[in-house]
Amino acid sequence: MSWKETAEPLLTRMPTVTQPEGHVPFKRKLGWTAGILVMYFFLANVTLFGLGTGGSDAFGQFRSILAGTSGSILQLGIGPIVTASIVLQLLGGANLLGLDTDDPRDQVLYQGLQKLLVVVMIFLTGLPMVFAGGFLPPSQQAAASLGIGTTGVQALLFAQIAVGGILILFMDEVISKWGVGSGVGLFIIANISQRILGGLFGTESLGLTNGFFPNWVGIATGSVAVNGLGGILLEPGKLIALFTTVLIFVTVVYAESVRVEIPLSHARVKGARGRFPVKLIYASVLPIILVRALTANIQFFGQILSSQLGSLPAWFAVYSNGQAVDGLLYYLRPIRGPQQWMWFVYAPPGDPIDIIARVAVDLTITIGGSAIFAVFWVETTDMGPESTAKQIQNSGMQIPGFRQNPQVIEKVMERYIPQVTVIGGALVGLLAVLANMLPTLGNVSGTGLLLTVSITYKLYEEIAEEQMMEMHPMMRQMFGSD
């Protein structure tokens, strides 16, 4: 008996969001998307009941990428979903699952397995965060008033963040089936956009550091002092942060627009022509999310070990204020902001050789990991040459000058898709590291800003495609969207 037959009774009974029957009108999709977005903001501002003081953020600099809020019911964010995707990517890439995504039965098993893994990751991440790491300390006052003791309050905290993780899972599924785009991408956009707005307009009265415009109003009125040109460029003027934010935006938009367009013509309708775009960033930016999530889990694991064992071997990690400042985990910690590598301006920990080595390790892991995950993603999401050739064949299109045959179309696609996938994945990794090394508005990570711009651009394209199909219903039949 194979593992599929053994696990099928469980995986097929996993709760799921009902698939819509037929076409969902564009306005209804926007309504579902807006509703889920409002729900996300609401949950992100629900503070955990029974949470004490003195805790720390388990994910630290990765928080913006994981789209969660420390101390809220969305403490875990999209972390369990992304970690489960990493496991499935690795298993699928090693061909250990034996699932055919073209088979409806295997599709159900794959979706059920993904949900099961998400639940497992919620427990593996949430339990140490509450019971072992001291990241979410229980309130002694709540323990006394409820009469359930410290352990009872900890169990209550875990139950809340587990519910938040499950809600994020199904909110993502609602968006993918009934809304526009991806729930994971939408939550990242919402989280980063909120931080950028805080970086532009935030004030101390709102519990934020003064943003770009309030600082300049203060500079103009004389209530905010600046220390020469350096103060205007860095703090509090933040002109460099504004410039680099715009630079990252323009660079990502340009990279998203670069593509190779393969001409197509309809086999039966004379004069009906089109183009199949093979974008430079063919696998989107999801591979970099997987890489950063994997790195975040490694750092989280190190923090848990440090909190439980008290001290770790110096070659593995040396911690100061909750951050690795030496050892293997120090070099595996991504660069974040100019304060961590500009030794000639700031005073980051480590000598220049250590900092250069850390940047080199960050570049190697991020670029290589993004390229590898891009290949896995393309193969497991039916974006490879074979699946693309079948989609073109089924739509009635063909490549002019070639026979209308899936094998022929596949050979043409093999000239472009594999190479572009690797190059695009590596480019996204490079852009992520470079963006992370620069200051940004709202102190968001450069990787988070890169993801936000790229996902927003992708969402814009999907909205334009949905509008086109609403105006021309025959397009839905041609592309099998009805």
- Per the CB < 8 A criterion, the answer to whether 52 and 202 are in contact is no
Answer whether residue 190 shows pLDDT above 80. Answer: yes
In this predicted structure, the answer to whether residue 477 has a pLDDT above a threshold of 60 is: no
% of residues, the chain, pLDDT over 70? 91
* The one-letter amino acid at 91: L
* Residue 36 pLDDT exceeds 90: yes
Better pLDDT: 480 or 372: 372
- 283 three-state secondary structure: coil
Q: Say what percent of the chain tops pLDDT 90.
A: 18
**Quick one: pLDDT band at residue 196, thresholds 50, 70, 90?**
confident
Q: Distance between CA atoms of 38 and 179, rounded to whole angstroms?
A: 13
How high is the pLDDT of residue 473?
A: 56
State residue 206's pLDDT score. 67
Consecutive H or E run containing 174 = helix 149-178
Tokens matching residue 280: 């430079």
pLDDT for 478 equals 47
Q: Where are the alpha helices (DSSP H) in 96-148?
A: 104-127, 140-146
Task: Give all domains of the chain, ordered by start, each with its CATH number.
Answer: 1-14+25-179 (1.10.3370.10)
Residues 363-387, mean pLDDT to the nearest whole number = 87
Strand extents, DSSP E, 244-351? 259-266, 273-279, 318-320, 323-326
State the pLDDT confidence band at 471, using cuts at 50, 70 and 90: low
Ranking 7-11, 31-35, 118-122, 361-365 by mean pLDDT, the lowest is 7-11
In sequence order, the 6+-apart residues with CB closer than 8 A to the CB of 27 are none
Q: Report the alpha-carbon distance of residue 138 to residue 55 in Å, rounded.
A: 9
- Mean pLDDT across the chain: 83
Residue 227 has pLDDT above 90, yes or no: no
pLDDT at 86 over 70: yes
88-92, 142-146, 313-317: least confidently modelled range: 88-92
End-to-end alpha-carbon separation of the chain, Å?
38
- Number of other CB atoms surrounding residue 321 within 10 Å: 6
Report pLDDT for 52: 86
Answer yes or no: is pLDDT of 48 > 70: yes
Q: What average pLDDT score do residues 153-169 get?
A: 94
What gap in Å lies between CA 40 and CA 187, rounded to an integer?
A: 7
Phi-psi region of 219 (alpha: psi -120 to 50; beta: other; left: phi over 0): alpha
How many alpha carbons lie under 13 Å from residue 113 in its C-beta half-sphere? Answer: 23
Tokens encoding 362: 């960050």
pLDDT at 229: 67
**C-alpha span between 399 and 472 (Å, rounded):** 23
Per-residue DSSP letter, 439: -
Flag whether pLDDT at 74 surpasses 60. yes
The answer to whether residues 211 and 192 touch, using CB atoms and an 8 Å cutoff, is: no
Query: DSSP letters of 66-107?
Result: HT--TTBTTSSTTHHHHHHHHHHHHHHHTT-S---TTSHHHH
Tokens of 77: 């964010």
Omega before 236 within 30 of 0, i.e. cis: yes
The answer to whether 392 and 264 have CB atoms below 8 angstroms apart is yes
pLDDT value at position 119?
94
- Whether 318 and 330 have beta carbons less than 8 Å apart is answered as yes
Three-class SS of residue 324? strand
The pLDDT value recorded for residue 349 is: 65
d(CA 227, CA 236): 9
DSSP letter string over 205-257?
Answer: GGTS---HHHHHHHHHHTSS---HHHHHHTSSS-HHHHHHHHHHHHHHHHHHH
Question: With bands split at pLDDT 50, 70 and 90, how would you rate the model's confidence at 161?
Answer: very high
What's the rounded Cα separation, in Å, for the pair 231 and 237?
A: 6
